[in-house]
Chain A
Amino acid sequence: GAVVSQHPSRVICKSGTSVKIECRSLDFQATTMFWYRQFPKKSLMLMATSNEGSKATYEQGVEKDKFLINHASLTLSTLTVTSAHPEDSSFYICSAAQGGNEKLFFGSGTQLSVL
């Protein structure tokens, strides 16, 4: 089945630093990838939709200058949390839709802890 690889799985960083998270579709081309954030015991919250070769579409309330998304190829999207602060600590998950198939395949997630 389709596989989405997400790295790193865990990041601990100091406040003010930037963190980059990668999401790769390993065996299919993903024109669209999605980025989510999940706080403990809360539901997945869509942050942005990443389209290959174009600007990402951000959900209301998500700062595009803080959460930089780059989708430069059909197999790779990155999320950079710039100048991270403790309130950015969360579980970040990416997903990709396989071609015309609307089923989503998820990365394994990144637990970000900002000290």
Chain B
Amino acid sequence: AQTVTQSQPEMSVQEAETVTLSCTYDTSENNYYLFWYKQPPSRQMILVIRQEAYKQQNATENRFSVNFQKAAKSFSLKISDSQLGDTAMYFCAFMKPSGSSNTGKLIFGQGTTLQVKP
């Protein structure tokens, strides 16, 4: 079974600085999808970034980028120029592609609470 581990329960960063959130996962699959979700105090789950395992290029969305290391099964999220609105809980998640057994299952890590300080 796939597992997703986020080893940093809480982190903090000063406004305008850069922070990196860690995520590791365990799978025997060669093709899969990885995601980072943001959950602000409003509780709404917001998709931040998506990575396809067969693409070597790291995904980027504005100030958010990932460092995807397939061999190490590592998928970290870097937030540049941190803003107060980035304060939230961040979840790493894993999903197998269509055609696989258990496709459609999105498995989450435990989450990292990020506090951006002014």
Q: Do A and B come from one complex?
A: no
